[in-house]
Structure 1
Amino acid sequence: MGKFIEWFKVHLNKLKTIFLISVIVIVIFELSNVAKTISIDQLSTIFSRISVGNILLMALIGLVSIIPMIGYDFTLNQILEQKPKKLFVFETSWLINTLNNIVGFGGFVSAGLRSEFYGKKTSGKKVLQALSKILVFTMSGLSIYALISFFLVIFDDHNQFLRQYWIWLVGGGLYFPIVFCLSLFGKGEYLGDLKSSHRLQLIATSFLEWTGVLVSFIATGLLMGIHVNIRDTVPLFIAATVIGIVSMIPGELGSFDLMMIIGLSALGTPRETVVAWLLLFRLFYYLVPFAIGLVFFFKNLGSTINLRYSGIPISLLKELVHKFETFFLYFTGIMLVLSATIPEAFIKMPFLEHLNPIRSRVIVVFPAILLGFLLIVSGRGVAARVRRVYIPSIIVLTLTFLYSLLAGFRLSTGFFLALLLIFVIFSKNELFREQLVYSAEWLTIDGAIMGGLAILYIIIGVYNSPNIHHRHHLPEFFLFPSEQIWIVGFVAILIVSFIILLFVRFLKNKRVQIGEPLDEARIQHILTNHGGNPDSQLVFLKDKKVFYYNDGEEDTVFFQLSTFNNKILVMGDPSGKNSDFEAATEALINEVDRYNYLPVFYENSEEMVMILHEFGYDFIKFGERAHVYLPTFTTSGKKMKGQRASVNKALKEGYQFDVIKPPFSAETMQSLQTVSDKWLNGRKEKGFSLGFFTEDYLQRAPIAVIKNKDAEIVAFANFMLTYTDKLGTIDLMRHDPDKAPSGTMDFLFINLFQYMRDEEGLEYFDLGMAPLANVGTQRKSFTQERIAYLVYNFGSRFYSFGGLKEYKDKYANEWLPEYVLYSRDSWIGFVMIALLITDNAPIQEEKKFSGIRRFLFKE
């Protein structure tokens, strides 16, 4: 026994989880059983015969009848000597009791839930003792009514039919005296030590509970217009309930209903009327209160589960609701436009009629098209979680509700739109972004939907034109009521297009850019105190924005950014304090997300892959970075035969290697400019991941030069400071095609390796990345990598990827993989296009957009 108790304590949390999941499963199962007994069509027929006032009164009586059961939980907390908030007790008690009405199982489910809600601050034994007292007294009220019913049946011989139930009434009636005596004279901990005040409270609560059940049932019949003999109905109801409870069938489904149908039919009420009576009773006493209980469930039990599992359940639920909300805004909008575009289809094709949530004939074309497209745009704003869409969405849904009311209101339409409106209202906290940045992905989706609907409308109009002869018979639902109505709709589409553009512009708000201009003092502080990487020096080109991370005391990390549409392209690994990379990355992602951008991390190391993977980012291998291990570098051996020949040839022809250090004179800069211009040969300079020729940039570090025998500079490569003591690299590597012989670059590299090893004491030389090296070329490569290979390889005119990898392979000792990481909301094709355009964009030209492109992609 001791081992069992110890095992139980160890696995208590797991057992609680299993219990909660089991309750949910049982509830779903039992609700499905209840649903099988309720026909929507039958309810509609019944409701049509009863006034709205009587239906509302039934619902009110059902809700009031639940209230006495809350007394159980107030008494329970008194027994446990604890004082939780009254609102908490009310909500949780409502949930427990309405759920217990549905599920049943002898009250064991309610006991488990009460333990979960009220037993956390009390010992398990004390909770169990208190629950046992509550549980046994819940049937005392039914037992009292069973005794009363027994005497009514035995001593009133006007109805012999009810006498057959005397044994059930006696059995039920004996329950209360036995329990009362045990609680009064017993000495057990689980029942005998109950205080008189608590005993009276439990008896009164139980009696009022069962009074409420009887009142709800009888009142439902009376409000239906049924002649009810209360003297006969009460004993029959009590006997049927006792039989149902003894069977332990949840909610007494089946046995109770069967007994009531037989009994009431024998008492003169038509069978069909009894079925309707039971149906309404179950609806207003069981389902409606339970629906309210579900609200409390998500508020209280949901909060408990959410707290236990670190907020994940609520987060998942919110995400699910958000997906549904977005889907139904789009769906409703599309159906509204289609109902104006092909109205006959909703008559000729029944499945469309049932699919349509509005379910009404279009009375005016213009409002249907306008509201439909506005709902689609609202859906986009909600999907993007833009704060400014909140009020417009509520207004559009309200107008849609009014429109459907005029078009022929249906209960299902009103319920659907009301539910959707509630979703939108309660989604306010989920709408946190400051602006809408219409991405290429979203433009593709929405363009296909809205453009497709507009084109469909135009095509139908053309085919319906009396001036066009058709060889093929058109489906009837493509026929439009009249040409004039179609023209009105076409004009409506033109007007709606303008309104949509205004709506989108409103959601876009005043564009906020991410990042700040270069602040050299802040950058130098980070690099000097916390270090950098081979890409850090690119920040001084000033062609990118900078995102600074401050740990609360000082700047410790920075990122280099460029914006393309809704993509924030982050160049390379972050620079600065390595231990702050994760926190800095999170800060960047949160800032970018706030303004509706999506980060794309370009040329990142495996370290950043691991960090960003935790934030849910997908990644593809984009290439490999070549490193030369300097301590073992040598030109001897068969592999370096060609390079030795190049070096010897250059030396014989009088070429010399030298490293010049800043500041550089105007003459030197002019010589370098001349070499650079000849190398470019009229091509535009590129930026972002590459350096370009500017005096300010080149004045920041030494430059390796090759001079001919006349002391003219014919080739150069500028050093890139890496702010480490192990790694060296260069950026621009240019030569004069007319004056530098073949092999000049080999001569330059070999001398650089030796210089950085012998003079700088470095271990590695970074030759840079070979894009798409070993990426997407295999049959089983990831689909994303194969797409990236196709887009970048066929889209770039400036690289020979294969040749670059082959050239660097002559020197490299190791190849380190480089990655592109992107949000799962991005499409890899558009990611690669953004990188391709940005990486190859001429730096001299400003981005210029016009027309609709400027409207949608304005920076």
Structure 2
Amino acid sequence: MALADPAQTAPPQSRVKILWPIGLGLLLFLMGLWALHHLLASIDVHQVIAQIKATPWPTLGAAVGATALGYLALVGYDFWALHYLGKQLPLRTVALGGFLGYAFGNTVGISVISGGAVRYRIYSAAGLNAFEVAALSSYIALAMGLGLTMVGVLALSVHPAALAGVISAPEPVIRIGALAATALILGGAFYLSYTGRALRIRNREIAMPAPRILVGQLAVALFDSTMAAGALWILMPAGTPPFASFVAIYAAASMVGILSHVPGGVGVFETVVIAALPAGVPLGEAAAGLLAFRMIYFLLPFVIAFVVVSLNEARLAGGWATRVFGEISEPMRPVISGIEGLAPRIAGVAVLGLGFWMVIVALMPVLGRQGGEPGLITAVLAEGGTQLCALAGVLLIVLSHGLVRRVRLAYWLVLAGLVLGVISVLAADLDIDNAVVLSLAAVVLLPFRGAFHRRVALTEGGYGPLWFAVILGMVASAAVFFFLAYAAHPYSNALWLDFTASSPTPRALRAGLLISALLLGFLLWLTLRPMRRFTFSVDPEQDVAVAEILTSQDVPQGWFALTGDKCVMFSPDRSAFLMYAQRGGMRVVLGDPVGPPETARQLAWEFHERAVSEGLTPVFYEVSTKNLPLWIEMGYALHKIGEEAVVDLQKFSLTGSKFKTMRAEQNRALREGFTLEIASPPHAHELIATLRDVSDAWLAGQKGREKGFSIGRFDPRYLNHCEIALIRRGGEILGFANLLGGPNARRFAIDLMRYRPEAADGVMQFLFIGLIEALRDRGATELSLGLAPLAGLPDRASARLTSRLGNLIYRHGGSFYNFEGLRRFKQKFRPEWRPHYVALPPGTSPYLALTEITLLISGGARNLLTKD
């Protein structure tokens, strides 16, 4: 299941980079299933299930206790990562972020929910920015990989026979190699830590934390791996190697599972563990232990985390949950509110899992409890219930994708599907246990109702290769499970016509046929359906509608929608809009969607899905920080492109020593006869003609032609929407700038700034100061001086290559554009610098995207070399 179709959203040259990890993961998963089928061909699935049910409660309790201690250790990774970044957060916040991150990330792996997305929601609400959360997630991934590798090779050096069934080498050779690897890992890590040097691998650099943090991190890794291995070892049968040896087996299996890119390492992890066990270990009991481990170490924390999020959603809404569990404390309220955006993804994954479980129940009725005496009524109920169970399972699997997309209809249909599931398991086998589980799932989903607000078609957009891979993996898993369960029952055509209540095999066959037909039919329909083309026609009343929205929203950047070189997409109720242009295979939005927050977010989703449905790459350029959760939710990557200079008009003053030089220059300009006048639209033809002369004279001194998209161009239609600041001397207009913002707005921005070449000295500074004072007197609060491209990009060794390349251009790119000088000039006005980003869907090359956007702005490659 995926948020988007990454193969469609990526340009053609990037699609291979997206598809090959998905294809490789699916291939390795299928290979793992085949290996498991080969290894477990002799076992009886019924006995495995009976073995799990017969596991003593003290054994289960010990495994649960080891799991609890393991997750407590996992939170330690977050604790030390925050120390590494020099950040301090309340322990409750770290515990919540760590537990939820690992509970969802461990279960789902590389799917739509990741530990990083969960942590972003929680830690950003606690004060960390997106780049700090990204650095924290990267640190945790490296720390876990380093710790797991160290524990594995250390255990292998003590007990080299642990992987004798996997590694065909003499024990002394394995021991020496493991000791050498341990020494290399520990020695190298502490050397880099003490010296402060970084390890360079191709174009990446890895820096170790301070020795104190490194020691704490290694202790966490040792405890975490030991507890996780202990939880599995407790559940394994007699004959399993001693615990110290088993730790090496667990570490090796975990590493192979991680490297396989299979979500949760399902199938791959189990194959390595079983292959490494001695020949005398009963395979059926080992399979029971591994299955119980999956349920305790992965599924149980996910369920607990799901319930925690649901209860907090209910507490935020007030009512019974608040009365029972109390109010959320004020310090934790922003953090708990931050989790709210995760609800659709969490619900989608949970429903996907429930759907798959119902498919398995339909294929193997023995999972339920056989109820009633054999007879006609019992046979009818059993047959009907099994087929309904299969239908409900497929329905939940398909609808889970709609939940991720926040579709309201999907939410209500899922609740109906869960009710149908309860009826089916009760009718088929009087299966009280599964009926209770499905009922509780419906109850837990109820507090999430407000998260599903989108009124769109269930099957529009988003069905990408990752979703298809997940479905194929589920079908393959169900098939292997079916063949293992009924290997002892020879096939006969007569089985299809056996409808007796005491014959579960025929029911399972018919359920399998129904499941296969439904899923295959749905996948074929998705693949073969005609592509729906979305057209964006220019509305004759477009400018009027845009102006009405801008009047209520007061977003200066939104006025670029009136330049005439972009298309505008409105929300269904025309209360929000976004502006975009298309170049090549990219459809590029300028700025954040404009309108009421919730409507604007829905519009962004709609734009994304419409672009994807046409095979285009949606890109959001020059977005601010206010919608960062939305881009994370949509799976977009953020790349900083510069900083916007915003002057607080009510605080600005030329008094003080810092403005002594500027004050003197302003007084000199006034003595020379400079004046500022703000002309309101519509403007006289004579004024427009004069301004065109000024503009042409300014353009004559530049390389290239007029730009566009993110910059206004001299167009009378556009200028007649804007107030224009005029700089005069003795009645002659020396320069001008148009203002973005309505007459009663409180926030303004400057777009075109043009002047006669002979008046270049000091005219822009006079314009800025004059506007600041004039707008302040009108009661305005902000004036944007525009973006400083490539300014403020991180220059650390661990920063993205795009950021370091941007810094290089910023410092040494004066031949193309005076980036540093522009920022230095705007800094004279002591503005607040606000970061701006380009938001890119998964797999989209930032270099290609920024190249296309640059060409879109400049109007072609020949116009890039300009100093305007």
TM range (shorter): 0.3 to 0.5
TM-score by length of 1: 0.43
